[in-house]
Amino acid sequence: MLFDVGILVAIIPIAAVVGGRWWPYLMALPVTLLPIAGKTVQQLVYQETAINPAAGWFVYFILPLSLATVAAIWFAQGAPAGQTGREFARRALLLTTWIYFSLNFAFFRFPWPWAEWTSRTPNGIIFTLCAIGFTVLALKCTLREKHAS
């Protein structure tokens, strides 16, 4: 068990060196998402059998990782063209907020306030309000910067 972590600890710096300027984008988006999506698939497909394995793998693993990877490539290609760190952070944080929110909401079996309440329903409400608020603020900052320039 100790060596399983050791292999990953050795591979990540090697991948970072090989990744070059792409590494920050890959680390911030698909690499960070990988264990979260994997745990969601493990829980909902194999432990709870809440969804068909093919659909579960697609919805909870392939689709989020594809979005994150495409976004990482898009951001990495836009960086030399004058993309600011603030612009990257705003867009990447919006993307990751909604991906993580979706995976978390599915993991806790969609605790909608109009459905039967569970111990996760208040958390779901608060997380939803925070994600919406964060989105509104990020979009408002985007519009403010566009009007200022």
Query: For 92-142, what is each residue's pLDDT tens digit?
Result: 999 999 999 999 999 999 998 999 999 999 999 999 999 999 999 888 876
Report the alpha-carbon distance of residue 38 to residue 61 in Å, rounded: 7
- Determine the residue type at 119: S
The alpha carbon of 49 is separated from its chain's Cα centroid by a whole number of angstroms, namely 23
User: 51 with 35: CB under 8 angstroms?
Assistant: no
Alpha helices (runs of H) in the chain, residue ranges in sequence order? 2-19, 23-26, 32-41, 53-57, 63-78, 85-107, 121-148
CA distance readout (Å), 35 to 27, 38, 96, 100: 12, 5, 14, 11
**The predicted structure's pLDDT at residue 3:** 53
In sign, the C-alpha dihedral spanning 114, 116, 122, 124 is negative
Query: pTM, whole model, 2 decimals?
Result: 0.80
pLDDT band at residue 2 using 50, 70 and 90 as cut-offs: very low
